[in-house]
Structure formats: structure tokens, C-alpha cells
């Protein structure tokens, strides 16, 4: 299909997935930036968390998620999960034969844009940190930048439990951020899409521990911007300017997922469908 300026348009939905709730932080930015796009989201709530699993297992789960979303005749896939983006992006591209956008490169770009000193801290899951994906992505963009990465595995279960404020998340975040004391980073990347839900706590602790001017960045907004540019370049953008639909699918516990999604996105999400991978 083409619009009045003869640019090709594509009405098919975009697939987005994560192990659980975290990818909604990316969905929120995509809907803000591209309100006309239809989205189908998959949260693999039966298997969350992915972050401490082996690369083989993450690749297996990611392929199953990709296949599930491909059944919705999507035009492209956004991997709204750093862990999967770190280890399974290429496999998904080959498997699905469609454009696949991850969150690590946009996150690295946001970090390089934010840092003044070139010293960047990253917190992420154990697998993301072990993969070295952030240091690789950052150094391909800025040869003078240094990345110090810390695994913060307990933050994902806190988010999935909805434990976003108060004493317990603060103590856990303090423990992790303390490991960056003395690393002289001026920018902290939330290298897991669950972490922006804990942003107020993380920001408070980071500023207290690492310095008041510490910049906290996440990849959600940068990913939405790259997605918008990509869709335009490839003639894949929707002709609609607004009212894009959001369909949410999960592999377990649809009611609680729907309730958190509505709270987080600020609107009703309709029936959350359970899918079997």
C-alpha cells in the first residue's frame, strides 16, 4: 500500500517480546513515538527470569518466542530484552527472515551520547554482563569509552513482584551500585528492560553513591527512535497516525500481567491471551 506521497506503507503489526514485564518499558516508548503502529507483545512469564540461564537455553526460548509472534504475521520483531539481544539476535534474524531490532545497540548509543568522561557503568542480568555485549557495542561507537558492568540479578524478580519502592529494593540496589563506587563512571546504563520500572530508586541510589551528576540512561527511548527511523527508511511504517492496537500475550498468569500492564501503560489493555510456546 502507498499513501498520498507515494511512500509505501505497511499495516502489519510489529512483534515485541521480553521474558516478562520489562519489555513494556519499550512498548510504552514505541506507543509514544509511533502511536499508529499495531503491536503484538509476548511476555514469557512461564520462564522468566532469563537472565541467569545459559546462552543455549536463552536462544531456545527466544526462538520459541519469535515463532509465536511470527504467527501474527508481523512485519518485524523488536527484542525488548537485553539478555536475548545479547545472545540470540543473529539466530532470530536467520530463523525468522525478517528485520529484528534489539535494545543493546540503541542503549549503547544513548550511553555514548550521555557520557562526558567516557566512563560508563552498566547494570544488567548475569548473562548480559557475561556476554560482553555492552562493552563491545560501546567500543564500536566510541573508541575512548570504557565500560564497567555489574550483574544485578535480583532486580528482575523484584519488578515481577511489583516491589518497586521502599526499603527492600533500595537495599538491593545499594548493594549492586556500591560495586561501582570508585569506578568513576558518570553514566549508568539500565542494561535490562525491567530496570526502568525501578528507575526512581536506582537514580536516587546512583546519585548518592556515584555522584549527584550521574546520568541514568535506558535503551527504551533510543530503541523507539531507531525503530521509527528504520520503518520510514524501509517503507514499513503504518499509514495510521494514531489508534494503534496493542495485543498482549503471555505464557502464564494473564490476569496479574494485565493488571500491571494497565497500571504501567496507563490505559486498559483488554484481554491478555495465554499462548503455549
- Scanning 31-39, 48-56, 93-101, 254-262 for contacts with ligand DGL by CB under 6 A, the matching segment is 48-56
Q: Which of 13, 15, 43, 51 binds ligand DGL (CB under 6 A)?
A: 51
Q: Which of 68, 115, 128, 149 binds ligand DGL (CB under 6 A)?
A: 128
CB 53 to ligand DGL: min, Å? 8
38: region left, alpha or beta (phi > 0 left; psi from -120 to 50 alpha): beta
Q: For 122, what's the count of Cα atoms within 13 Å in the CB-facing half-sphere?
A: 33
95: region left, alpha or beta (phi > 0 left; psi from -120 to 50 alpha): alpha
| Dist. CA 44–CA 251, nearest whole Å | 5
Q: One symbol per residue from 81 to 110: x for binding ligand DGL (CB under 6 A), - otherwise; what is it? A: xxx---------------------------
| 196 binding ligand DGL? (CB under 6 A) | no
- Scanning 9-17, 44-52, 68-76, 138-146 for contacts with ligand DGL by CB under 6 A, the matching segment is 44-52
CB 115 to ligand DGL: min, Å? 21
User: Omega into 117 within 30° of 0, i.e. cis?
Assistant: no
CB 191 to ligand DGL: min, Å? 7
CB 82 to ligand DGL: min, Å? 4
| 26 binding ligand DGL? (CB under 6 A) | no
Which string of b and e fits 209-222 if b means at least 16 CB within 10 Å? bbeeebbbbbbbbb
| Gyration radius of the chain over CA positions | 18
Q: Which of 192, 224, 237, 269 binds ligand DGL (CB under 6 A)?
A: 192
| 18 binding ligand DGL? (CB under 6 A) | yes
Positive or negative torsion for Cα 38, 128, 190, 44: positive
Catalytic residue, chosen from 81, 155, 197, 216, is: 81
Catalytic residue check, 192:
yes
Closer by beta carbon to ligand DGL, 193 or else 214? 193
Number of residues in contact with ligand DGL, rule: CB under 6 A?
Answer: 16
Catalytic residue check, 65:
no
Q: Which of 19, 115, 187, 251 binds ligand DGL (CB under 6 A)?
A: 19
Contact 119, 183 (CB under 8 A): yes
Catalytic residue, chosen from 192, 236, 246, 250, is: 192
Q: For 86, what's the count of Cα atoms within 13 Å in the CB-facing half-sphere?
A: 29
Cα separations in angstroms, 7 against 12, 229, 232, 241: 16, 14, 9, 14
| Dist. CA 256–CA 253, nearest whole Å | 6
Residues taking part in catalysis: 81, 192
Residues of this chain that bind ligand DGL (CB under 6 A): 18-19, 22, 48-51, 81-83, 125, 128, 156, 192-194
Amino acid at each position: 500500500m502507498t499513501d498520498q506521497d507515494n511512500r509505501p506503507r505497511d499495516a502489519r503489526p510489529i512483534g515485541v517480546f521480553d521474558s516478562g514485564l520489562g519489555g513494556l518499558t519499550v512498548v510504552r516508548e514505541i506507543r509514544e513515538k509511533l502511536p499508529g503502529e499495531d503491536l503484538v507483545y509476548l511476555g514469557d512469564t512461564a520462564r522468566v527470569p532469563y537472565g541467569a540461564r545459559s546462552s543455549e537455553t536463552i536462544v531456545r526460548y527466544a526462538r520459541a518466542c519469535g515463532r509465536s509472534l511470527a504467527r501474527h504475521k508481523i512485519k518485524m520483531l523488536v527484542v525488548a530484552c537485553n539478555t536475548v539481544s545479547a545472545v540470540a539476535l543473529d539466530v532470530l534474524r536467520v530463523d525468522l527472515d525478517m528485520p529484528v531490532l534489539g535494545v543493546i545497540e540503541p542503549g549503547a548509543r544513548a550511553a555514548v551520547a550521555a557520557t562526558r568522561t567516557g566512563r560508563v557503568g552498566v547494570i544488567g542480568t548475569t548473562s548480559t554482563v557475561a556476554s560482553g555485549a555492552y562493552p563491545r557495542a560501546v567500543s564500536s561507537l566510541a573508541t575512548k569509552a570504557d565500560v564497567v558492568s555489574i550483574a544485578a540479578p535480583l532486580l528482575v524478580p523484584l519488578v515481577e513482584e511489583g516491589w518497586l519502592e521502599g526499603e527492600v529494593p533500595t537495599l538491593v540496589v545499594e548493594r549492586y551500585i556500591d560495586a561501582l563506587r570508585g569506578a568513576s563512571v558518570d553514566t549508568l546504563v539500565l542494561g535490562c528492560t525491567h530496570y526502568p520500572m525501578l528507575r526512581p530508586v536506582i537514580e536516587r541510589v546512583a546519585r548518592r553513591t556515584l555522584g549527584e551528576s550521574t546520568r541514568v540512561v535506558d535503551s527504551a527511548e533510543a530503541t523507539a527512535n531507531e525503530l521509527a527511523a528504520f520503518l520510514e527508511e524501509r517503507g514499513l511504517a503504518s499509514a495510521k497516525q494514531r489508534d494503534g492496537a496493542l495485543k498482549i500475550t503471555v505464557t502464564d498468569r494473564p490476569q496479574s500481567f494485565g493488571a500491571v500492564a494497565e497500571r504501567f501503560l496507563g490505559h486498559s489493555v483488554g484481554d491478555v491471551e495465554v499462548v503455549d510456546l
